[in-house]
Chain A
């Protein structure tokens, strides 16, 4: 706590931007985000877009897993539902990209609520297995419902546009991504300090106690699933519009694990943590790609080893963070911040 920073009422305590310093740095950061596309090259913008989609998905999953305490191994399936809804609406029914987005979110939310139904009877381990089953069932549907999803050949999607302005390159798409990331993060940050957010946290901490103090478990658990899947659906719709193609290979179980890894490494139950986690876990594969390029030059033949390396490193990160830093990168960030705040009298 900073010296002289006294809070006199709860409203002040719950404020998102607690001091002028925070506002100042945040504005500076936004300025950076806005000039970023003008200084970055294609590759950096590509990675920035990927980070954006990952942030939206990870924030969604964190609302469900980190705040409400319902483990989901099927997040990739909901990303896929959103992606396919958007792709099918655009190509079959001639919807514009913008109109297809809310539908992608809503259909994913509906799918999430259906999968969330077992959560009313089962929890913990059992719920984890139920969502795992959902992941496989949806994967199966993506591959085998060929009249709709065109199976493994996938669907090609035109780039989104407003009037004559087309968002086809990384740079143009960056603005769409940035807009939705800001919107999504802002909404989530506000949600968790509302009545609903507090209900989520109460359910996570002890569902029985939550029910006794009058929280409707049915309503709030399903809401958590719906909101989380809505985020996933939006992330999926944006992602495939960016890639311009959607195939079932985009949504394997490993993607679900990747999302879980993001929120664990970033910090469960922290919006900031989801952002850190999404950035971190998106950059690692890119770093590995870069390393494999170097290895290809100096020691050709050994670059093959980097393909599975991604999985090994993801698994290691999950385990190491869980054992040594369960609160994730967000906690490390807090520690660094308080070090500077309290320096030089850190006692």
Chain B
């Protein structure tokens, strides 16, 4: 079995999940120009909520899943109303810091409620790995990839065809024009936060399923920054493509660089890539290049 192919297939599967989480970032950024630094904590929260629903309430997976998504929807709405709306028009540092503060609070609260111990997710997918002939994909990754792709497609369809989606795109394009067309920009802002939270919560459930859940799981959310920067902050297609690229690159560094420096390269590789992209092409592959004119 060719190890290179194996690693690339694993990378693609991971990349699908990254793409979904990146979509959560981009949905919020496109409409409201806010980058949510608490996204990793949203993910963790989603994983924990689903876990609790499964274990404590003994709910079947699909009910737990829907319940978690519903809670994420409410959470996004509430956070937008309480924390982001008072800051409209404030300097960017305030907005960034508010989301960072939110992340710290969520992390602390989850630590209080669920304690920092590590847990494994109950098996919700059939355990047989998928054998492609040239590579074997572990069941968690394989099902996670399918879920992520389905989630991404649903979000894309909503964005493309539904009334809400069109309103969101209009707002992203030009707020004043959207306002004068009778779109409630406030509602769109709140909805973008809800959709963003939903996307990240699904990502959280998938990742929790693959690698277990703990309070520190949210660090994956920070890795996804590399994905959105590479794809361009406001490009949905870019986010998905970049998800695959980063997923593959990350696993390749795990294969080739790890033996050279003694492990851990996989964790930090996305950040190296991130810095390089920022220096060469800050607006990413498909992002809108902002040219300032005086």
Contact = CB atoms under 8 A, between A and B. Distances in A.
A pairs with B: yes
A268 interface: yes
A315 B294 contact: no
A133 B272 CA distance: 7
Contacts of A130: 274-275, 278
B93 A268 contact: yes
A319 B112 contact: no
B111 interface: yes
B274 A69 contact: no
Interface string A112-136: 0000011001101110111011101
B270 to A, nearest CB: 8
Given A133-B271, A137-B268, A319 B83 contact: yes
Contacts of A283: none
Contacts of A117: 279
Interface in A250-270: 254, 257, 260-261, 264, 268
Q: Which of B96, B103, B264 has the most CB of A within 10 A?
A: B96
Interface in A286-325: 305, 307-312, 314-319, 322-323
A308 B96 contact: no
B87 interface: yes
A323 B263 CA distance: 43
A337 interface: no
Nearest to B280: A121
Given A264-B97, A326-B94, A311 B105 contact: yes
Contacts of B97: 260, 264, 318, 322
Given A71-B93, A118-B279, A129-B278, A316 B105 contact: yes
B146 interface: no
Nearest to A69: B93
A209 B107 CA distance: 40
B177 interface: no
Contact of B104 (A71, A124, A129, A315): A315
B100 A323 contact: no
The binding surface of chain A is classed by DSSP as: helix
B109 interface: yes
B172 to A, nearest CB: 16
A126 B102 contact: no
Contacts of A71: 92-93, 96
A312 B108 contact: yes
B127 interface: no
B111 A311 contact: yes
B282 A122 contact: yes
Contacts of B107: 308, 311
A310 B101 CA distance: 12
Interface in B192-238: 222, 225-226, 229, 233
A134 B90 contact: no
A264 B90 CA distance: 14
Contacts of B261: 144
A118 B105 contact: no
B133 interface: no
B262 interface: yes
Nearest to B279: A118
Interface residues of A, number: 48
Nearest to B261: A144
A129 B111 contact: no
Given A129-B229, A137-B271, A318 B278 contact: no
A315 B101 CA distance: 4
Contacts of B225: 129, 132-133
Interface string A125-160: 110111011101100100110100000000000000
B48 to A, nearest CB: 14
A143 B279 contact: no
A281 B246 CA distance: 38
A143 B264 contact: yes
A137 B274 CA distance: 11
B59 interface: no
A308 B278 contact: no
Q: Which of B97, B108, B272, B275 has the most CB of A within 10 A?
A: B97
A65 interface: yes
Interface string A172-198: 000000000000000000000000000
B45 to A, nearest CB: 14
B268 A136 contact: yes
A28 to B, nearest CB: 35
Contact of A318 (B104, B262, B272, B294): B104
Contacts of A136: 222, 267-268, 271
A208 interface: yes
A209 B293 CA distance: 11
A304 B93 CA distance: 33
27 contacts: A69-B93, A71-B92, A118-B279, A122-B278, A125-B92, A129-B225, A132-B225, A133-B225, A136-B267, A137-B268, A143-B264, A144-B264, A208-B292, A209-B294, A308-B111, A311-B108, A312-B104, A312-B112, A315-B100, A315-B101, A315-B104, A315-B105, A316-B101, A319-B101, A322-B98, A323-B98, A326-B90
Interface of A: 65, 69, 71, 73, 117-118, 121-122, 124-126, 128-130, 132-134, 136-137, 140, 143-144, 146, 208-209, 212, 254, 257, 260-261, 264, 268, 305, 307-312, 314-319, 322-323, 326
Interface of B: 35, 83, 86-87, 90, 92-94, 96-98, 100-109, 111-112, 222, 225-226, 229, 233, 261-264, 267-268, 271-272, 274-275, 278-279, 282, 292, 294
Given A121-B278, A132-B222, A140-B264, 16 more contacts: A118-B275, A121-B279, A126-B278, A130-B275, A133-B275, A208-B292, A254-B104, A260-B100, A261-B101, A309-B108, A311-B105, A312-B104, A314-B104, A315-B101, A315-B104, A323-B86
7 pairs of A and B residues whose beta carbons are closest in the complex? A311-B108, A315-B105, A318-B101, A315-B104, A308-B111, A312-B108, A133-B271
